[in-house]
């Protein structure tokens, strides 16, 4: 009997969630299209360029709207049970709210993990691609960047590079220190006077190469030219997202933090970003604790009221997350409080509301 009730409610929840996600994404596409249509027409953008831009633009927006869609789904699914007195009948049968909502709680945890994986393997690449298509292919902006000094760069393969100076237009860097890590262990170090991107791979000039295979052993060689054939992406392209922790993977960000700490550089911004990569997706699970009890208690809630409640709670969560993030990055709050404070507030509020709704 309990399984049938749980399945019935879970199907209601998934149906509303699917409609909410599709609806929110369609709305965001329309809003963005209205905002950019004049630029697309002025630049004679092709249909392929526009479709490619929105294809790579979509993953970032999906991650952003999932919490609102989850909240809307739990509000509407629960409100439907309340409206037709189904929840009253279920509770009269001796089944509590915790047991009825249990499949949704488990699904929300699964969805939080899925959002985390999207943030790791899909969003960083998709975000950079959408920006490239928009600015370079459609708006025809020149690929020029100012010369930079004292640059830290996370690169594929566990490499962390330090450039004393970097000229992205000439595709050259000077005073190079590169460290490669495997499972937190330093395995290689490269030092060179200069680095250049040949168009296919990176080339280091006049330097030395140290290997640390393990067991305290070390090998040392010098070189006039060292080709890094596995580095096929230009440093300039990687550098476009170096200041944005949300555009790095969890492992890249952790490696950057370790390298900066060894170099005596501040890492507060990166540390907050690292913790947010877990705490933000987890909000998708915590949001269920908030929505369900509210829908149970507001017995005459209709579409408009539920929508307003969902948007208000989501807006509050976004504002609090941004506020805590800024305070953490400026050092006004400890890193753990800045990254996990909002999750803790939502968790406590959700549990309190659940116990309140059981009365």
Output the six-digit token pair for 325.
């993030």
Would you state the torsion angle of the CA atoms of residues 224, 230, 232, 235, taken in this order, to the nearest 10 degrees? -60
Contact call for residues 328 and 337 (beta carbons, < 8 A): yes
CA angle 137, 166, 274 (to 5 degrees): 75
As a whole number of angstroms, the distance between CA 31 and CA 285 comes to 28
**Which residues, including other chains, have CB under 8 Å from residue 296's CB and lie 6 or more apart?**
78, 82, 87, 97, 357
**Coil, strand or helix at 195:** strand
Closest CA to 327 of 339, 344, 345, 343: 339
Other beta carbons within 10 Å of 122: 16
The candidate with the shortest Cα–Cα distance to 69, out of 125, 107, 124, is: 107
Q: Which two tokens stand for residue 238?
A: 């990687």
Residue 172 Cα to chain centre, angstroms:
31
184: region left, alpha or beta (phi > 0 left; psi from -120 to 50 alpha): left
Closest C-alpha to 77, from 346, 296, 255, 329: 296
Checking DSSP bridges between strand 202-214 and strand 185-197, what pairing results, if any?
A: antiparallel
Taking only the tens of pLDDT, the chain with its 359 residues reads 667 777 888 888 999 999 999 999 999 999 999 988 888 888 888 889 999 999 999 998 998 889 888 888 888 887 777 776 666 676 666 666 667 778 888 898 899 999 999 988 888 788 878 888 888 788 776 554 555 667 777 777 778 888 888 877 667 888 898 888 887 778 889 999 999 888 888 899 999 999 988 777 788 899 999 998 888 877 776 665 555 666 677 877 887 787 677 666 788 888 998 898 899 888 888 887 777 777 766 655 555 676 777 778 877 888 888 899 899 988 899 999 999 999 999 888 888 877 776 66
Per-residue model confidence as pLDDT tens digits over 285-326: 888 777 777 776 665 555 567 677 777 887 788 888 889 989
- pTM score over 0.75: no
Q: Which residue has the tokens 């309140």?
A: 356
Tens digit of pLDDT for each residue in 318-350? 888 889 989 998 889 999 999 999 999 988 888
Token output for 145: 């960047």
Cα(167)–Cα(32) distance, rounded to whole angstroms? Answer: 34
Instruction: Give the containing element (helix H, strand E) for 175.
Output: strand 172-182
């Amino acid at each position: 009997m309990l399984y049938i009730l749980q399945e019935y409610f879970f199907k209601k929840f998934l149906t509303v969630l699917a409609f909410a996600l599709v609806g929110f994404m369609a709305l965001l596409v329309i809003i963005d299209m209205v905002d950019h249509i004049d630029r697309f027409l002025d630049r004679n953008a092709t249909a392929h360029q526009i479709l490619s831009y929105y294809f790579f633009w979509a993953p970032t927006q999906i991650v952003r709207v999932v919490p609102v869609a989850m909240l809307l789904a739990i509000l509407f699914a629960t409100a439907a049970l309340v409206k037709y007195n189904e929840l009253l009948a279920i509770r009269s049968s001796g089944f509590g709210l915790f047991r009825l909502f249990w499949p949704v709680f488990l699904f929300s945890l699964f969805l939080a993990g899925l959002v985390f994986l999207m943030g790791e393997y899909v969003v960083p690449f998709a975000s950079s691609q959408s920006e490239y298509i928009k600015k370079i292919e459609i708006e025809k902006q020149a690929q020029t960047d100012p010369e930079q000094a004292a640059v830290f760069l996370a690169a594929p393969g566990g490499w962390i590079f330090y450039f004393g100076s970097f000229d992205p237009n000439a595709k050259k860097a000077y005073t190079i220190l590169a460290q490669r890590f495997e499972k937190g262990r330093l395995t290689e170090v490269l030092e060179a006077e200069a680095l250049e991107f040949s168009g296919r791979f990176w080339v280091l000039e006049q330097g030395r190469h140290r290997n640390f295979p393990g067991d305290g052993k070390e090998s040392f060689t010098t070189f006039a030219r060292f080709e890094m054939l596995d580095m096929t992406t230009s440093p300039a392209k990687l550098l476009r997202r170096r200041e944005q922790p949300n555009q790095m993977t969890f492992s890249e960000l952790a490696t950057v933090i370790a390298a900066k700490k060894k170099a005596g550089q501040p890492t507060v911004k990166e540390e907050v970003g690292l913790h947010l990569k877990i705490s933000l997706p987890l909000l998708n699970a915590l949001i269920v604790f908030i929505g369900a009890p509210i829908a149970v208690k507001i017995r005459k809630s209709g579409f408009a009221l539920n929508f307003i409640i969902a948007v208000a709670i989501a807006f509050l969560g976004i504002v609090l997350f941004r506020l805590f993030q800024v305070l953490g990055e400026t050092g006004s709050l400890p890193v753990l409080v800045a990254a996990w404070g909002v999750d803790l507030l939502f968790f406590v509020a959700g549990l309190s509301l659940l116990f309140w709704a059981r009365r």
